[in-house]
Chain A
Amino acid sequence: MSTAAPPTDRTRPDQIDLTASSPRWGEKAIVGWLFLCAAFSVLVTVGIVFALVEPTLEFFSRVSLGEFFSFDEWAPTFQPPAFGVGRIVAGTLNVTFYALLIALPAGLGAAIYLSEYASPRAKRILKPVLEVLEGVPTVAYGFFALTFITPIIRELWPTFLPGALGDPPGIFSAASAGLVMGIMIIPTVASVSQDAMSAVPASLREAAYGIGSTRMQVATKVVVPAALSGIVASFILGISRAVGETMIVLIAAGATPNLTLLPNESVLTMTAFIAQASTGDIATGTITYYTVFAVGSLLFVSTLVLNMISIALVRRYREAYE
């Protein structure tokens, strides 16, 4: 430029000022506000950790780790108290297991249908209905379980099953709570999975069809592997919702800390214990008070570990298309 430019360049202004004409305070303020919005959830998480840590440490100064992490007995409000958290962890696992048994296959199936098979018209009807299901309050699901599903389960229980599995469940059961919780989670799994599958480029589907793949092969061998990270994310979201769900189990699963994975028994979950203990007259500084925090910490840590495992799994197995 400089070599070619003639000495008297008339198109060039006398003075070139490239500094900012104003400090743009408004924009800086908005960026600061946006940062705070983004940082808010991180700050809240840190706050929760702090709120949990101190009472949890206090709990463990009174109850040994060995006593807490055992399956012996769970009766923190009794005299003498017992703190075998394995009992309510088992309760949570029990209900979660049956919920996922329903929600993961049904949710993934719904996602595959919506993403790969549904006509635009079917999609227009099904997707909003699915999303409405997501918005139903969990307390409504709880009563749906207790008053609608439980009687049906009790009526139709397959009594020919061997041993204790053949006994019809009582009013409160893991089966009823798990089933309804599964129904509650289907839309979450379906919706997040479908978004991930719909985001898979059409060119990959064309490639597969162009070789002579059937629709099912395109869906299962190309689209699902390519969307795996989103699908696993939906599963994790579903599991987290199941583990953290409180109202349904509180209403429909009962409150017996049974050490069982049988669906026809009443169980107490970690969340149901916390809700139950916190709604009663619970005095600050009592052992029951600290137990609530210890169980809360355990819930928090287990969800965290679950998330980390899933992130690692996704990194390992996902088929990145970018």
Chain B
Amino acid sequence: MSAVTTPDPQGDIVSTPSTTHADPRSGLPDAPSGVMETVGLNVYYGGFHAVHDVDLAFGRNEITALIGPSGCGKSTVLRCLNRMNDLIPAARVEGSVNYHGIDIYGPKVDPIEVRRRIGMVFQKPNPFPKSIYDNIAYGPRVIGMQVDNMDDHVERCLRQAALWDEVKDKLKESGYSLSGGQQQRLCIARTIATAPDVILMDEPCSALDPIATSAIEDLMTDLREDYTIIIVTHNMQQAARVSDRTAFFTARPDETTGNRTGLLVEYDKTSQIFENPRDQRTEDYISGRFG
């Protein structure tokens, strides 16, 4: 289906030395280390086949972008990676999603434990209607995380999300008092407050203006040092700018029903996808002839 070779199960342990992160793209290993991978992932909403047979591996300390036209199932795939699709009653997942070799859809897996390790940032900024401080402190509190000093922890998270200087004097104000871009950085700070391993971002900039978008993109590049990031984006330039690897999805209409099923067309290093795509559909999409 794609250029992915199934990674060595130990791959993430002997993964790329961190020195390569100065210029991650040149030092990028050919195959992702496989912090997470999907194997034969199929998603159904009731009788509707939303995603067909997706095999993907996501590398540690890499940003992986999922791109493709509307309805290609990229958000659906993303939401499968921390079992957010469980919240949709009719959704059904087949195949497996492995996190460090453990199938998160396995029988004894608790979706709440999964989400504590695999956090999510959403399309529209959705801070809690609580103070800026409590937005950050919420996660550590609910998961019972041992934090020596919550004030320091809140500061650290806000600094990591490049928001501290803008909010340090109004931590008691509502998260809704911030601008859209600040709210989204608050949401990112809230996500990293529980020290997840992987951060999923579902079109995190689509509701933001270009300046706020650029701030978030810079932030993602910084966060790559510590986290594995998987981002869905409509914006091809964004994928090209920030991601290390890109997966291109498209939608194939069903011959009888006309329902469009998403499938993975090509997955490779971002430079490869944008400069030298193997598949005609990828080339059509990135050159703007389609989608």
- A interface residue numbers (CB < 8 A to B): 119-120, 201, 203-214, 217, 221-222, 225-226, 319-322
Contacts and interface: CB of A to CB of B under 8 A. Distances in A.
Interface string B193-205: 0100000000000
Contacts of A120: 89
Contacts of B126: 201, 203-204, 206-207
A222 to B, nearest CB: 6
B194 A211 contact: yes
Interface in B151-166: none
A221 B142 contact: yes
Task: Assign chain B's interface to a size class.
Answer: 20 to 34
Nearest to B187: A207
Contact of A222 (B113, B114, B117, B128): B128
Nearest to A119: B89
Contacts, number: 78
Contact of A221 (B87, B114, B124, B138): B138
Contacts of A225: 129-130
B157 to A, nearest CB: 12
18 contacts: A201-B126, A204-B126, A206-B120, A210-B84, A210-B119, A210-B120, A210-B191, A211-B138, A211-B142, A212-B113, A212-B115, A221-B138, A222-B128, A319-B128, A320-B174, A320-B176, A321-B129, A322-B176
Interface of B: 82, 84, 87, 89, 112-117, 119-122, 124, 126-130, 138-139, 142-143, 174, 176, 187, 190-191, 194
Contact of A211 (B87, B113, B124, B191): B191
Given A203-B124, A207-B122, A208-B128, 16 more contacts: A120-B89, A204-B126, A205-B87, A206-B120, A207-B126, A207-B128, A210-B122, A211-B115, A211-B138, A211-B142, A211-B143, A211-B194, A212-B113, A212-B119, A225-B130, A226-B128
B38 to A, nearest CB: 19
A212 B129 contact: no
Contacts of A221: 138, 142
Contacts of A203: 122, 124, 126
A206 B122 contact: yes
A321 B176 contact: yes
Contact of B142 (A201, A212, A226, A321): A212
Contacts of B130: 225, 319
